[in-house]
């Protein structure tokens, strides 16, 4: 049932000044952890070159910094570092200060690791760089922040000056070649800001982007928090109707437009979780753009009275608040589909012509019309079926037993009116899956209904991304059909490359198969689309924990709790990450705050055992078995495995298998089961699960 601190050396100045190419020297945690490697010979760059780049980063980010350094050096860009950094002292400090004073560009590497580090020598470097800008012209390029994960500038722990320039996003330091080329051009070309690089788009196979990626124009400065002009957030439409019950309609229209946008290739769309988090808040467009890292925002309002609707929408440029396009529609409900088409086409066309500089001609009109028509597949032409569908989606998203049951009723009514409504069949499958997965319906029966309805959706519309994604979820969590899940989710991403939920599900499949680096990369891509999503950070934290990237896992789970303080099982996992770092007292304090009882008992049994409190561990385990042996069989197996009781661990794994415990899907990379890997029963069980290499 897995549903959806500084190290000892950190007080030394040298350990925080990350020397490029010397990642072999452990600067935090325990020697021998992943990341320890032989020194990479890089020449010392203290020659005083006026074209040098100073790279500043936290010690935990050495590998990503190395990739940036290699990319820069490949183009003969000089990178300043100090091979004698570990000596520290006044002379060393003076050398660093001189380099920052003389370098041409300063590149601070920002990440979850810098987020959790309240102190560190890299922060001194950052402040020294900011102080240098006081003597510079406003248009002089000097600060080039690079983000190597899903950290966003709205809540990053950085000097305020960093927020005034464009940030480049390079997850893990990958795709650094494009960044290096831009740095090289800047070093050769004088003042102005650097066009930023994005390496966070979803994988698209075999299709050209309909919206070509263009770099931000040189000279676009602090006003633009996003580096990608083809990025948009669709905010929930305000309900201007007299009846508050019509809120489902205004939210639903915005949600449908958002889903359509995610299917337009080349367009980066902030996910619903993040975009709708601003509902009811007095937030400016600039604040939304900064938080979601988008260049444009679509906002609107809906007034519904009987069969009449008035929809007002406007597309706003974040950089200056300029209204790129606006329109009002006074129509009947029968015209709602034409209105949606018109809005989607107008927005995409405006992005292509106004922001990307394409010529507004018949060719663009035809292309945009075709793109939107493709993205609109699966919908109904019956306005009442559409209204029932929107109401059902609103209820399913609440994730309560009664609301889900009502939603199923509304969807059945919609399908009675239009049996060919493919999106409604897919949504009915989601509702059935929610029932089964939450224990509100018999598991086998619930998933059988889910599979039947999703198959019906695909029979009606084979290119419906939502149905492929739902089928992939069934194949992964219930069928344990890993190959089938990969195929389904790959197809879903091909059809909707900007959908964060589908990226997260693809990450789950990769992680469950033990491909943790791939899973982490996919979760970072999902967070680029959905930066305010607690579930996305939770998924990332699980993968980082399994990969022994403990500081990053801690940062991810703390981000979950910042976004959703009562998120179930987040504190339990945070406590286990703290335990793995040798911080047992902090782990115990954290697990006692876990609101979900089964998770609290599970993690407590582990933490007490690690501290030698055998009686407390056994009491927690027996309470877990007494109350949750059906729901948490895989967690019971984890506890026994961690305690070295292999026979009992395998007994509970078998029980979990019979009960179709969804937690078994995550067993292959699970750190708790490492003690079983040498046992021949482990490889046999993996084969039974279809997880063997």
Q: Are residues 185 and 240 in the same domain?
A: no
Report the CATH number that the domain containing residue 174 is assigned in CATH: 3.40.50.10140
In order, the DSSP letters of 263-327 are: TSTT-EE--HHHHGGGTT----HHHHHHHHT-SEEEEEEEEEETTEEEEEEEEEETTT--EEEEE
| Residue 233, beta-bridge partner list | 297
User: What tokens were used for 129?
Assistant: 């760089």
185 in a domain, yes or no? yes
579 in a domain, yes or no? no
36 in a domain, yes or no? yes
For residues 269 and 247, give the distance between their C-alpha atoms in angstroms, rounded to a whole number: 23
294 in a domain, yes or no? yes
The torsion of the CA quartet 164, 165, 170, 176, rounded to 10 degrees, works out to -160
Q: Are residues 133 and 15 in the same domain?
A: yes
Q: What is the mean pLDDT of the chain?
A: 81
Answer for the pair 107, 144: CB distance below 8 angstroms, yes or no. yes
The predicted structure's pLDDT at residue 139: 76
| Of 113-117, 167-171, 629-633, 664-668, minimum mean pLDDT range | 167-171
Q: Which of 12-16, 75-79, 340-344 has the highest mean pLDDT?
A: 75-79
Per-residue pLDDT, averaged over 478-506, amounts to: 91
For residues 428 and 452, give the distance between their C-alpha atoms in angstroms, rounded to a whole number: 10
List all residues 6 or more positions away from 514 whose beta carbon is below 8 Å from its beta carbon: 668, 669, 691, 693
CA distance readout (Å), 107 to 134, 145, 168, 337, 444? 17, 5, 10, 48, 54
User: Which of 423, 427, 501, 517 is closest to 461 using CA atoms?
Assistant: 423
Answer for the pair 146, 168: CB distance below 8 angstroms, yes or no. yes
| Of 82-96, 211-225, 486-500, 599-613, minimum mean pLDDT range | 211-225
Asked if pLDDT for residue 553 goes beyond 80, the answer is yes
User: Helix 443-460 vs helix 465-474: angle between axes, to the nearest 10 degrees?
Assistant: 150
The predicted structure's pLDDT at residue 576: 98
User: What tokens were used for 429?
Assistant: 């499958």
The better pLDDT of the pair 311, 639 is held by 639
Asked if pLDDT for residue 572 goes beyond 90, the answer is yes
SS (HEC) of 325-351: EEEEEEEEHHHHHHHHHHHHHHHHHHH
Q: Are residues 146 and 244 in the same domain?
A: no
Q: Are residues 239 and 168 in the same domain?
A: no
Q: Strand locations in 550-641, DSSP E?
A: none
Look at residues 174, 189, 204 and tell me which one is the last residue of a structural domain: 189
Q: Are residues 174 and 250 in the same domain?
A: no
The predicted structure's pLDDT at residue 9: 29
The predicted structure's pLDDT at residue 229: 60
Answer for the pair 236, 258: CB distance below 8 angstroms, yes or no. no
User: What tokens were used for 215?
Assistant: 């770099």
The predicted structure's pLDDT at residue 88: 58
Look at residues 328, 345, 377 and tell me which one is the last residue of a structural domain: 377
User: Phi, psi (5° rounding) for residue 302?
Assistant: -135, 130
Asked if pLDDT for residue 471 goes beyond 90, the answer is yes
Q: Are residues 167 and 31 in the same domain?
A: yes
List all residues 6 or more positions away from 231 whose beta carbon is below 8 Å from its beta carbon: 267, 268, 269, 270, 293, 294, 295, 296
Answer for the pair 171, 198: CB distance below 8 angstroms, yes or no. no
Asked if pLDDT for residue 192 goes beyond 90, the answer is no
User: Phi, psi (5° rounding) for residue 642?
Assistant: -65, -30
The fraction of the chain above a pLDDT of 90, given in percent, is 41
Q: Are residues 160 and 274 in the same domain?
A: no
Q: Are residues 283 and 150 in the same domain?
A: no
pTM (two decimals):
0.66
User: Which of 13, 7, 24, 26 is closest to 88 using CA atoms?
Assistant: 13
Q: Are residues 93 and 28 in the same domain?
A: yes
460 in a domain, yes or no? no
Query: Tokens 């006074």 sit at which residue?
Result: 330
For residues 149 and 110, give the distance between their C-alpha atoms in angstroms, rounded to a whole number: 8
CA 57-517-588 angle, to 5 degrees, is 75
User: Which of 511, 513, 468, 467 is closest to 491 using CA atoms?
Assistant: 468
Q: Are residues 77 and 133 in the same domain?
A: yes
For residues 137 and 193, give the distance between their C-alpha atoms in angstroms, rounded to a whole number: 12
For residues 682 and 693, give the distance between their C-alpha atoms in angstroms, rounded to a whole number: 12
Number of domains within the chain: 2
pLDDT level of residue 205 (50, 70, 90 thresholds):
very low
580 in a domain, yes or no? no
Asked if pLDDT for residue 193 goes beyond 70, the answer is no
pLDDT level of residue 3 (50, 70, 90 thresholds):
very low
Q: What's the length of the chain?
A: 693
**Sheet hosting strand 146-147, strand order edge to edge:** 79-80, 53-56, 105-110, 146-147, 168-169
Report the CATH number that the domain containing residue 335 is assigned in CATH: 3.40.50.10070
Query: Tokens 């993040």 sit at which residue?
Result: 274
Per-residue pLDDT, averaged over 436-451, amounts to: 85
Look at residues 162, 189, 216 and tell me which one is the last residue of a structural domain: 189
Per-residue pLDDT, averaged over 498-527, amounts to: 92
What pLDDT digit, counting tens, does each position of 102-158 carry? 999 999 999 888 888 888 889 999 999 999 998 888 778 899 999 887 666 556 788
The fraction of the chain above a pLDDT of 70, given in percent, is 83
User: Which of 372, 364, 376, 253 is closest to 309 using CA atoms?
Assistant: 253
340 in a domain, yes or no? yes
The better pLDDT of the pair 231, 16 is held by 231
pLDDT level of residue 355 (50, 70, 90 thresholds):
low
If DSSP codes are grouped into helix, strand and coil, which group holds residue 453? helix
Asked if pLDDT for residue 171 goes beyond 80, the answer is no
Task: Please count the other Cβ atoms lying within 10 Å of the Cβ belonging to residue 135.
Answer: 8
Q: Are residues 280 and 362 in the same domain?
A: yes
Strands 268-269 and 323-332: unpaired
Strands 308-317 and 296-305: antiparallel
**Burial readout 319-333 (b: 16 or more C-beta within 10 A, e: otherwise):** beeeebbeeebeeeb
User: Helix 422-437 vs helix 465-474: angle between axes, to the nearest 10 degrees?
Assistant: 20
Q: Are residues 43 and 135 in the same domain?
A: yes
Asked if pLDDT for residue 227 goes beyond 90, the answer is no
What pLDDT digit, counting tens, does each position of 603-636 carry? 999 999 999 999 999 999 999 999 999 889 999 9
The predicted structure's pLDDT at residue 374: 84
Per-residue pLDDT, averaged over 342-360, amounts to: 77
If DSSP codes are grouped into helix, strand and coil, which group holds residue 56? strand
User: Which of 197, 262, 189 is closest to 227 using CA atoms?
Assistant: 197
Strands 79-80 and 323-332: unpaired
Answer for the pair 225, 165: CB distance below 8 angstroms, yes or no. no
For residues 158 and 151, give the distance between their C-alpha atoms in angstroms, rounded to a whole number: 11
User: Phi, psi (5° rounding) for residue 227?
Assistant: -100, 0
Strands 296-305 and 238-239: parallel
For residues 506 and 488, give the distance between their C-alpha atoms in angstroms, rounded to a whole number: 9
The predicted structure's pLDDT at residue 478: 86
Answer for the pair 58, 117: CB distance below 8 angstroms, yes or no. yes
User: Which of 128, 112, 115, 149 is closest to 54 using CA atoms?
Assistant: 128
User: Which of 670, 583, 570, 562 is closest to 150 using CA atoms?
Assistant: 562
27 in a domain, yes or no? yes
The parent domain of residue 148 ranges over 8-189
Per-residue pLDDT, averaged over 169-175, amounts to: 70
If DSSP codes are grouped into helix, strand and coil, which group holds residue 143? strand
Per-residue pLDDT, averaged over 568-577, amounts to: 95
């Amino acid at each position: 049932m897995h549903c959806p601190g500084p190290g000892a050396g950190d007080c030394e100045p040298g350990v925080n000044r990350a020397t490029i190419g010397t990642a072999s020297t452990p600067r935090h945690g325990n020697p021998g952890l992943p990341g320890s490697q032989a020194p990479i010979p890089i020449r010392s760059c203290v020659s005083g070159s006026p074209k040098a780049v100073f790279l500043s980063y936290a010690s935990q980010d050495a590998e990503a910094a190395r990739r940036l350094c290699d990319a820069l050096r490949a183009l003969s860009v000089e990178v300043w570092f100090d091979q004698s950094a570990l000596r520290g002292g006044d002379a060393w400090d003076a050398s660093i200060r001189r380099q920052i004073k003389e370098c041409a560009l300063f590149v601070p590497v920002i990440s979850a690791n810098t987020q959790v580090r309240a102190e560190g020598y890299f922060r001194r470097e950052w402040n020294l760089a900011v102080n240098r800008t006081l003597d510079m012209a406003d248009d002089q390029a000097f600060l080039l922040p690079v983000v190597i994960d899903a950290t966003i500038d709205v809540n990053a722990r950085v000097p305020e000056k960093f927020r005034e320039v464009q940030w480049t996003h390079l997850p893990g330091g990958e795709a650094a070649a494009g960044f290096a080329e831009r740095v090289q051009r800047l070093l050769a070309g004088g003042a102005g800001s650097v066009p930023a690089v994005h390496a966070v788009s979803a994988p698209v196979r075999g299709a050209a982007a309909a919206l070509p990626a263009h770099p931000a124009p040189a000279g676009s400065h602090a006003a633009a928090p996003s580096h990608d002009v083809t990025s948009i957030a669709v905010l929930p439409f305000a309900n201007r109707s007299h009846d508050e019950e019509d809120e489902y309609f205004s939210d639903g229209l915005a949600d449908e437009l958002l889903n359509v946008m995610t299917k337009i290739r080349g367009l980066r769309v902030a996910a619903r979780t993040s975009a709708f988090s601003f509902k009811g808040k007095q937030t400016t467009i600039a604040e939304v753009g900064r938080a979601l890292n988008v260049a444009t925002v679509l906002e609107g309002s809906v007034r519904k009275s009987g069969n009449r609707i008035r929809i007002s929408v406007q597309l706003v440029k974040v950089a200056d608040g300029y209204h790129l396009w606006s329109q009002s529609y006074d129509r009947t409900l029968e015209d709602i589909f034409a209105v949606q088409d018109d809005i989607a086409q107008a927005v995409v066309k405006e992005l292509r012509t106004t922001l990307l500089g394409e010529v507004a001609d018949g060719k663009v009109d035809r292309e945009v019309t075709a793109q939107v028509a493709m993205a609109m597949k699966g919908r109904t032409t019956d306005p009442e079926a559409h209204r029932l569908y929107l109401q059902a989606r609103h209820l399913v998203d609440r994730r309560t037993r009664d609301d889900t049951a009502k939603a199923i009723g509304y969807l059945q009514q919609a399908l009675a009116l239009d049996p060919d409504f493919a999106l409604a069949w897919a949504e009915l499958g989601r509702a059935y899956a929610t029932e089964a997965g939450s224990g509100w319906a018999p598991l086998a029966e619930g998933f059988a209904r889910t599979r039947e309805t999703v198959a019906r959706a695909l029979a009606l519309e084979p290119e419906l991304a939502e149905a492929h994604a739902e089928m992939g979820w069934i194949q992964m969590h219930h069928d344990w059909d890993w190959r089938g899940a990969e195929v389904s989710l790959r197809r879903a991403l091909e059809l909707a490359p900007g959908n964060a939920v589908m990226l997260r599900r693809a990450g789950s499949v990769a992680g469950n198969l033990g491909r943790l680096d791939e899973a982490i990369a996919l979760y970072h891509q999902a967070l680029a689309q959905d930066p305010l999503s607690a579930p996305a950070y939770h998924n990332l934290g699980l993968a980082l924990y399994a990969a022994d990237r403990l500081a990053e896992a801690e940062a991810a789970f703390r981000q979950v709790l910042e976004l959703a303080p009562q998120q179930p099982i987040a504190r339990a996992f945070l406590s286990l990450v703290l335990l793995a770092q040798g911080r047992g007292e902090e782990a115990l304090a954290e697990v006692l705050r876990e609101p979900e009882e089964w998770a609290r008992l599970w993690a407590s049994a582990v933490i007490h055992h690690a501290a030698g409190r055998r009686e407390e561990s056994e009491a927690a385990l027996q309470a877990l078995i007494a109350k949750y042996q059906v729901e948490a069989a895989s967690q019971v197996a984890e506890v026994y495995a961690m305690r070295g009781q292999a026979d009992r661990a395998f007994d509970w794994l078998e029980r979990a298998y019979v009960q179709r415990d969804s937690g078994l899907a995550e067993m292959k990379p699970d750190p708790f089961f490492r003690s079983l890997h040498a046992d021949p029963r482990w490889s046999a069980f993996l084969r039974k699960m279809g997880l063997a290499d």
